[in-house]
Every structure is written in C-alpha cells, then in structure tokens.
Structure 1
Amino acid sequence: MTSVLSSVDQRTNLVGQNRLELLLFRLQGPQFFGINVFKVREVLPCPALNSLPGAHNHVRGVAHVRGEPITVIDLSAATGGKPLVDLKTAFILVTEYNRHVQAFLVGNVERIVNVNWSEMLPPPAGVGRSHYMTAVTRIEGRMVQVIDVEKVFSEISPMQEEISESVKQAAEQIDLKDITVLVADDSAVARNQVRRALESMGVHVELVNDGKQALDWLVNKAGQTDNLAAQVPLLISDIEMPEMDGYTLTAEVRQNDKLKGIHVILHSSLSGVFNEVMIKKVGADQFIAKFHPDELASAVQKWLQPQLEQQPG
C-alpha cells in the first residue's frame, strides 16, 4: 500500500487548478472517509506499537517508522467511534501537517481519487459543532466525509495559541481600530486560533468558511467603497477548502481590479516546496505554516504597517 503514494511528486500539477486528490479509507463499517494526499507522507500496514504510559487515551502507542518514533492515534476513537480492535489488518497513515508528524490508525485503505474543490461541500447544516468533518463529497454515488485532522490533533495535543508579550507590544504601536482582516478557513479550530491571536492584538476579524465565501464577501464589500484595501488590507486564507481553494481564491483576488490591492497570506497546514512555487504563481504575499501565533502576528504587522502609513492622517 506504500506504493499508493509513490507518485505524489507528480500530483503537484493539480495545485492551482482548484483540484485535489483524496486518499479514501474506512474506520469501521462501510463509511468512506478522506484525507488530502498532500498531508500523507506514507501508508503502511500497522506495525508493532509500543505503549506510551500516561498518553491520551486515543493514542494507541508509538511506531518506529524508518528509525523515527511516531505517535499513533486511533482515528475511530478520536472521532467518537469505538477503538479499532484488529490491528493485524489495520493500517497507519503517517501524516505531516501543522509542523508535526503523527500517524492515524485506520481500518482499511481504499484508493486515491481526483476531485475538484467545487465538488467538496461544507458539512450539512444541523450537524452541530462536535463533528469532525471539514467537507463532504460523493464518489461514485457514495458519501465521503473529509475528516478535520487538525481538530483531532489539537484535542490530543493542544497547541500554544498565545502571542508573546513582545509581539503584542509591537502591535500596540499600530492604530488598528478601522481595520478588518478577513480569515478564510474550513477548520473551526484553525479559524478560532487565528481569531484569538489577532483579536489579542486589537485587530477586528471577519471569519468565513471557504474560498467562495471569502470571494463573495470581498466582492460585496468592494461594491460599498472606492478603496477596499484601506478597510480590508489583509486576507489570511487556508489553502485546502471546499468549493474554492486558497490558491484559486488568491488568483481571483489578483485578477479583480477592486481587490488586487489586498495583501494575501496563505496560512496552511500543508508544507512542501510546491507552496513557494504556487505563492509566486498566484500572487500571494506570503506563506506561513500553521500554527505559530508569533509568526502569524508578526506577518500581520508587516503587511498592515505600510498600508496604514499610506492612509491620510
């Protein structure tokens, strides 16, 4: 099954075309789940696991993969289901995102499918806040749930979300009272992390769930003012989002005369060389890997300061 990811390097040509590839898997039963291939480093039959005393109860142990100890999380248990029982037939998805490497224990791995982000829809209304979906789609007539692995990992290993005092003090030198920063991210965990970080600096934040919502919000705002960039000088966007990804959103912003003056930070759990290439291709100002509050806050100051200095006093 490792070979299922052997051509990942060839898949970077999907980036910027509003397309992605999903690795489909099952936990228990017939339900299909998905994860973006770019988050997955390797797929392996479940190796021997060493117990980890005192670990979170959803952590099944530590696997040694190519000499590297990696925490293995039972994805079924972590998303509200029963723990997986038969490890002899199970697999682990070795993932890399949010500056961490971790593995998820799953029941079975199916295949990789190529889909358009426009086919990825937000979770249905009415499912509440405790679900673990970032999107849903249909593959060959079957419902596929894309799991919010950022939320899963944050519940097991919470991240530092506070901005340091030195960064806050630097932010106090900037008058932010008439400024709005738009944040687009399909993960509620990520949206709230960014919101808390920016609000602690005194920045007014508007939140949307995907690229299409962000573009609609900006176009609507642009219709109400002659200089949108003075009011909304910065967009912070995730890359992988349903309906419209962050690369496509950035390209749309740059091609719109009323929006192109807005700075764009792509803030993503994805990492890799292709990010740097795509940043230049679509015209984003900066890429920041999730989630380091001081790094994000410093970038916000960097792009807001020149914009504010240009405003009439």
Structure 2
Amino acid sequence: MAEKGVLLESGTNELEIVEFNVANNRFGINVIKVREIINPVLVVFIPHTHPNIEGIMEIRGEILPVINMAKVLGFPDSNQPSQDKFIVTEFNKQKVVFHVHGVDKINRISWEQIEKPTNLYQNTENQIIGVVRKQEGMTLLLDFEKILVDINPATGINNDRLKHVQRKDRSKYRIVVAEDSAMLRKLLSDTLMEADFQFIDFFENGKDALDYLQHAVSENKVISEVVHLVITDIEMPVMDGLHLTKQIKQHPVLSQLPVIIFSSLITDDLRHKGETVGADAQVSKPEIGELITMIDKFL
C-alpha cells in the first residue's frame, strides 16, 4: 500500500480511505491502517470464541484473527464468497484481518467532508464515526477500535493499565481532549479521573477544540489558566489531530501548550507525521498508563 504513495503530507487535514462493501452497503477504513488486501484463503475455525471471530489464518508466517464484518454489522453472509476480500490491518499495536464482501477503490478526501453522526445514532454502542456523502451514495466510516474492544475488552483503555502509574495529586491541571469516539471519550474520562485529573474538557473533533482554545486567547485570558495540555486523536471528522496540532504549534500564544497525540496510528513508520507538525509526544492507544506518564512529564 505504501508503494502507491498513500501516506499524505502531515497536517493537510486529508486522508485516503479504502472503500469496501458488506451486503451492498459501502464502508470505509483509513488506508494508513491497511497493510494489504488479499483474496479469500483458508480460515481455520476456532471453537468457543466470540461470534464475530470467523477463525484464524496464516499470512507470511503470522497467525492472525479474522473478523467477519457481516456478523459485526448484522448483515447476512456473502452470496458470492469466492469474490470476497480480506483486509489485513495494523493499528492499536495489533494485526487483524477483516473479512468483507468486496473492495471498491481508494479515495482521497478532506476530513471536512466527513460529517459526524447525529445524536440520533451516535452513542457509546454505535460503530459509525463519520459519514461521507458523494454522488454515488454514502460511505460510512467505522470505529474499528470499538469493534476490537467489543470482541475483547482487554484490548481497550481500562483502569488495569494504570497499575504502574505513580499516584499523586493531579487535580489542579486542566486538560483539553479531542476524541471523536463516544466510547473512547467515556473510557478516557473514567481513566483520567481515576488518575486524579479533575478538569477535563472533551471535544468531538479538532475544530471544536481549536475554536475553544482560540476563543480563550481572544478573551485575553492567560492560556495557562484555561488549559495546561492538549491530548488529541488523529482520525476525527471536520479536523484531524495532525492538523489541530499544526494549528496550535503555529499560533503565537497556543504554541506554548504541550500536545500529545494519542492514536491507534502511532507506529514506527508513521511517527514522523506527528513530529512534522510539532507534537510534543505520541502514544499509541490503548496505552493509557504511558499517556499518564507522558502527561506528568510536561506538567
């Protein structure tokens, strides 16, 4: 995938998505998460696993779990299984294969083109994080982190990951968090509060977070009295975390704020993107303990 030049310049507020279909419905996944797309191969059934786990398969010497996206989404199985595709992914420090019914194309879009779900169908149980409207129809962007957590909660953010975090008073610090996933906002809120952070402002995308920070500056407030540190995801509708970080670091006042990128996309191959826009640190989800340690470093 990398050979096709899909990794965009940092901070442009653009992404490329692999569009795939399940039961004639169109969905999308960030191409940065995709290692390769392959034709159907042998999947070995594993008894007594989660119903969404189809089995395991071997790819280049690695044994990887296969998730049946039709079951995840509540659709019937493919009526032409020989035409199905397997999307091999890597994120959250995990490699997972998603079984879909077909792969259409790669599209480059702006995060501004992605509409966030309305309150009618956005909640901690929903798997949709954004909607892309085009002439040929809508493409739904899915919360793949949530899909994994639903199968195995241990892969997500939880208090067990705080066992080795130093206990101390953090109640005076004010933190801004930009995170589009309702599930992850709830998990982050619970774990940050457990670590004794009391003043946390959550925003669903980078634009809302930036508007809040710029408004504070426009009212001639001392920024350190409003917020001490910013935590941001990368993948968010309207404005992504890389563009948010770039805007903060180019601002004459806000640039003093430490920015930590907390994302499933933090890998050795992609770390340079956060460095390019000036991020002070980058932590891979779901390592909340490492995130707390990094916050302490900058406060």
TM superposition score normalised by structure 2: 0.92
1:28 to partner: Cα distance: 0.3
Secondary structure of the residue that 1:13 maps to in structure 2?
Answer: coil
Deviations 1:145-177 (A, max 9, x none): 00111111110011261143441xx241x4x33
Distance in 2 (alpha carbons) for counterparts of 1:45 and 1:6: 19
5 Å-filtered alignment, 1:58-207, equals 58-84=52-78, 86-129=80-123, 130-158=125-153, 159=155, 161-162=158-159, 163-167=161-165, 170-172=166-168, 174=169, 176-203=170-197, 204-207=199-202
Moved more, 102-111 or 83-92: 83-92
Moved more, 157-166 or 190-199: 157-166
Secondary structure of the residue that 1:283 maps to in structure 2?
Answer: coil
* Structure 2 counterpart of 1:164, one-letter code: L
Change (3 A) 1:303 1:85: farther
* Structure 2 counterpart of 1:51, one-letter code: F
CA contact (8 A) 2:10 2:274 kept: no
Distance in 1 (alpha carbons) for counterparts of 2:79 and 2:45: 15
- In structure 2, the partner of 1:7 is 3
| Aligned residue pairs, count | 294
Deviations 1:233-266 (A, max 9, x none): 1111011111111111011111222311111001
- In structure 2, the partner of 1:247 is 242
- In structure 1, the partner of 2:271 is 276
Distance in 1 (alpha carbons) for counterparts of 2:191 and 2:294: 12
Which of 17, 42, 50 aligns to 1:48? It is 42
1:184 to partner: Cα distance: 0.7
- In structure 1, the partner of 2:26 is 32
CA contact (8 A) 1:41 1:96 kept: yes
**1:16 to 2:11 alignment:** yes
* Structure 2 counterpart of 1:194, one-letter code: L
Change (3 A) 1:107 1:166: closer
CA contact (8 A) 1:74 1:84 kept: no
- In structure 1, the partner of 2:291 is 296
1:213 to partner: Cα distance: 1.1
Change (3 A) 1:166 1:48: closer
CA contact (8 A) 1:120 1:242 kept: yes
* Structure 1 counterpart of 2:140, one-letter code: Q
Secondary structure of the residue that 2:117 maps to in structure 1?
Answer: coil
1:180 to partner: Cα distance: 1.6
1:78 to partner: Cα distance: 1.0
CA contact (8 A) 1:197 1:297 kept: no
Moved more, 72-81 or 57-66: 72-81
1:86 to partner: Cα distance: 4.4
Change (3 A) 1:75 1:261: same
Distance in 2 (alpha carbons) for counterparts of 1:217 and 1:232: 10
Secondary structure of the residue that 1:287 maps to in structure 2?
Answer: strand
Change (3 A) 1:171 1:303: farther
1:274 to partner: Cα distance: 4.9
Distance in 2 (alpha carbons) for counterparts of 1:84 and 1:59: 16
